Amino acid sequence: MSKGHAAPIYYAALAESGYFPVEELGTLRKIGCRLQGHPCRTKTPGVEMSTGSLGQGLSAANGMALAAKLDKKSYRVYCICGDGEMAEGQIWEAAMLASHYKAR
């Protein structure tokens, strides 16, 4: 998820999927909790990529999709981007790369 500020819905989906108890959602953004303002892969179960700088998510998703393609895996990779980061050059470069390599 490139759009780190959407962490609350991401955390809800992870809790419903069993990565941590649903009750833990009440600790959102509290000091010392696992559910920070941006997803952090070293603190929150189920998070595969920490977010931060705008535009990084699509590049990371490209890497995951291309790895699947090289490994002949059939899974798909999805990336949620925010409207503000769509103007970042890194997003457009990543989109062109995905198109070129037919990453999915």
pLDDT for 15-53, tens place per residue? 999 999 999 999 999 999 999 999 999 999 999 889 877
Alpha-carbon distance values, 47 to 38, 52, 96 (Å): 10, 13, 26
Coil, helix or strand at residue 61:
helix
pTM above 0.85, yes or no: no
Coil, helix or strand at residue 14:
helix
| pLDDT higher than threshold 90 for residue 83 | no
pLDDT for 39-48, tens place per residue? 999 999 999 8
Alpha-carbon distance values, 55 to 7, 65, 74, 76, 92 (Å): 16, 17, 25, 20, 9
Phi and psi for 94 in degrees, rounded to 5?
Answer: -65, -40
